Structure 1
Amino acid sequence: MQIELIVTFLDLCETRSFNKTAERLRITQSTVSGRIKALEAVIGRRLFQRSRAGTALTTEGLRFEPHARSLRHNWITALNATRDSGMAGVTMRIGLQHDLVSFEISRLIGAFRNTLPDTVFLFEADYSTQMCADLVAGMQDIAVLYSPQTHPDLHFEGLGEVSYVMISTQPDALQEMSRDRYILANYSPAFAYAHAALLPDFAQVSLSIGQNAAMVDLLTSLSGAGYVLRHSANALIAAGTCYPVANAPVISQSVFAGINARNRHRSVYRRMLRILMDHYAHDRRQVTGTP
């Protein structure tokens, strides 16, 4: 069986539209129809029912869907195994939310290496939506992200929180802050929601940015005020570049680990999750003073 048939079937399960699946896979609608007919011929059952109301899975299609997901995952796993054949150990592909790359990454790498000394680690920075897609496709093994995307193939666990604090290049209090100097952070949907609730007067400004590193660069080059990760704020304050903004609320951001649901009970993944839970609990311990 060609893997393209399975990929097309699963995409159509999500879109329920031959046109949309053709656009997403960059093929013609007739190719989508041909692949579905070929798959139905192999299985010997009709998988989709087309009507004026749209495209829907048949009972047989619903039963086949979870097995198709397993086939796709096993295929990607097999491909990754052949790509890793020249390496000394197994490769674990780890996705990190862009902002978290600077969060004591050397300490995290050290913990992984001590626990899994024969493993090759490949770290990639990205955003939550793309990392979730990569987990589904088998292109990543584990992802550390801000915004989990609901999907039947994915499993998420909470790791803890990181904190964002407001700093300024001038010794301001929140009540004295000018909107013209404020740079709006847009790190995640959860952060944006908390910010709008806590600081409604600063929800509409002329400049916004979506990365902690970019915010640090703007604050140091353009001057102004904005939210950055606590460890970035501490470094800028210690250097005398910025000041903490008095009375500004701290905004916490939850951090999650995502893996393919098939791997949630495997020993190596449980060990990696424990390392990540300890790592991202570190910021909370710094705030609360707990050991």
Structure 2
Amino acid sequence: MHIDQLETFLDLIQTRSFNRSAERLGVTQSTVSGRIAALEAALGTRLFTRSRAGTDLTTEGLKFEAHARALRHGWTEAQRAVRPSGTAALSLRIGIQNDLAAGHIGDWVAEFRSKLPDCAFYLEPDYSAQMCTDLAQGALDFAVIFTPRALPDLHFASVGEVRYRLVSSDGDSRESLTAARYIRGNYAPAFEQTQRQLFPDLATAPLAAGQNAAVAGLLTSLGGAAFVLEETAAQLIAQHGFRAVTDVPAITQPVYAAMHLRHRPAPLHRRLTRIVQRQLAGR
């Protein structure tokens, strides 16, 4: 059994199409078919059935799915474990939501290193969806995210929240906002839903961005109005003449620690979770 057979098996579960999996994996359809045939031969059972409606798992395939995910995760972790990490006893790969990285990464890493002096750290700012995928596959050990993704092998724990405040160069009230001058911050699905509820008339604003730093840069260059993180709002008000829109409430964005389910009881991951909770609480 080879890891590319497991990858192909798990991808085919998602696509239900040999052609589509071949495109996604960058191989030929015959390669996909060959890998699945080899995997079925190694297991001594059929994993998929094919029909006009698509490709479906057999009962045996359903039983094997969880094992395939665990095998892929274990293999990825094993590869990383044997890579050189200097004098550190353990190397940890930690993902951090893009909007949290700029304001928090220094303090967080300082406490990580203080509490875990024998660890080496690799930090990777990213978006929630990709970090959840990387955790499930074993490419990350721990992540701090905005949006949990419903994957069967992941565990999420609430660790706090951050707030986005509305600032504007055009006025300090809701009446001063116009779609032409509004920049939609698309930071997370929950955030976007709240924003649409607050401003259904601004949903067609022609300019949007998914990162706090990008929105702040657009505001600085173009003016207008947008939700930005509280600390960014304070900077824009103090340094660039923006005003807080006082009759619009802040939007609160929950923050979660994410990890593979097998790491949920691990003392290391519980310690990382507590550190993030303390940092977000300001203690």
Q: Provide TM-score, normalisation by structure 1.
A: 0.91
Question: Per-residue displacement from partner, 1:54-109 (whole Å, max 9, x unpaired)?
Answer: 22222222222211111111111111012235442311111111111122322211
Q: Distance in 1 between matches of 2:96 and 2:223?
A: 28
- Give 3-state SS (helix, strand or coil) of 1:63's partner: helix
- Give 3-state SS (helix, strand or coil) of 1:83's partner: coil
Q: Distance in 1 between matches of 2:230 and 2:89?
A: 36
Structure 1 match to 2:23: 23
- Give 3-state SS (helix, strand or coil) of 2:167's partner: strand
What is the CA-CA distance between 1:241 and the residue it aligns to?
Answer: 3.0
Contact 2:85 2:120 (8 Å CA) reproduced: no
Amino acid paired to 2:79: L
Amino acid paired to 1:212: N
What is the CA-CA distance between 1:240 and the residue it aligns to?
Answer: 5.3
- Give 3-state SS (helix, strand or coil) of 1:103's partner: helix
Q: Percent identity?
A: 50
- Give 3-state SS (helix, strand or coil) of 2:109's partner: helix
What is the CA-CA distance between 1:268 and the residue it aligns to?
Answer: 0.5
Amino acid paired to 1:127: Y
CA 1:124–1:46: 2 relative to 1, 3 Å: same
Question: Per-residue displacement from partner, 1:2-61 (whole Å, max 9, x unpaired)?
Answer: 111111112122222212211111111111111111111111111112223322222222
Say which is worse superposed, 18-27 or 233-242, in terms of deviation: 233-242
Contact 1:220 1:241 (8 Å CA) reproduced: no
Structure 2 match to 1:96: 96
Say which is worse superposed, 51-60 or 259-268, in terms of deviation: 51-60
Contact 1:145 1:258 (8 Å CA) reproduced: yes
CA 1:177–1:55: 2 relative to 1, 3 Å: closer
Amino acid paired to 1:169: S
CA 1:87–1:79: 2 relative to 1, 3 Å: farther
Structure 1 match to 2:267: 267
CA 1:19–1:165: 2 relative to 1, 3 Å: same
Mapped pair 1:173 → 2:173: yes
Structure 2 match to 1:193: 193
User: Unaligned regions of 5+ residues in structure 2, if any?
Assistant: none
Amino acid paired to 2:281: A
Mapped pair 1:253 → 2:238: no
- Give 3-state SS (helix, strand or coil) of 2:82's partner: helix
What is the CA-CA distance between 1:209 and the residue it aligns to?
Answer: 1.7
Contact 1:161 1:280 (8 Å CA) reproduced: yes
Q: Distance in 1 between matches of 2:15 and 2:178?
A: 46
Mapped pair 1:32 → 2:24: no
User: Unaligned regions of 5+ residues in structure 1, if any?
Assistant: 283-290
Mapped pair 1:43 → 2:40: no
What is the CA-CA distance between 1:171 and the residue it aligns to?
Answer: 4.2
1:142-291 aligned within 5 A: 142-239=142-239, 241-282=241-282
The CA RMSD measured in Å over matched residues stands at 1.7
Contact 2:127 2:145 (8 Å CA) reproduced: yes
Say which is worse superposed, 218-227 or 177-186, in terms of deviation: 177-186
Q: Distance in 2 between matches of 1:176 and 1:60?
A: 61
Q: Distance in 1 between matches of 2:53 and 2:274?
A: 47
Amino acid paired to 2:117: P
Q: Distance in 2 between matches of 1:18 and 1:177?
A: 50
Q: Distance in 2 between matches of 1:270 and 1:124?
A: 20
Amino acid paired to 1:142: F
Q: Distance in 2 between matches of 1:86 and 1:121?
A: 11
Question: Per-residue displacement from partner, 1:242-287 (whole Å, max 9, x unpaired)?
Answer: 22112022111111121111211111111111111222234xxxxx
Q: Distance in 1 between matches of 2:81 and 2:74?
A: 10
Contact 1:198 1:249 (8 Å CA) reproduced: no
Contact 2:144 2:256 (8 Å CA) reproduced: yes
- Give 3-state SS (helix, strand or coil) of 2:180's partner: helix
Contact 1:93 1:139 (8 Å CA) reproduced: yes
Q: Distance in 2 between matches of 1:51 and 1:203?
A: 42
Contact 1:84 1:90 (8 Å CA) reproduced: no
Mapped pair 1:121 → 2:157: no
Structure 2 match to 1:108: 108
Q: Distance in 1 between matches of 2:15 and 2:184?
A: 35
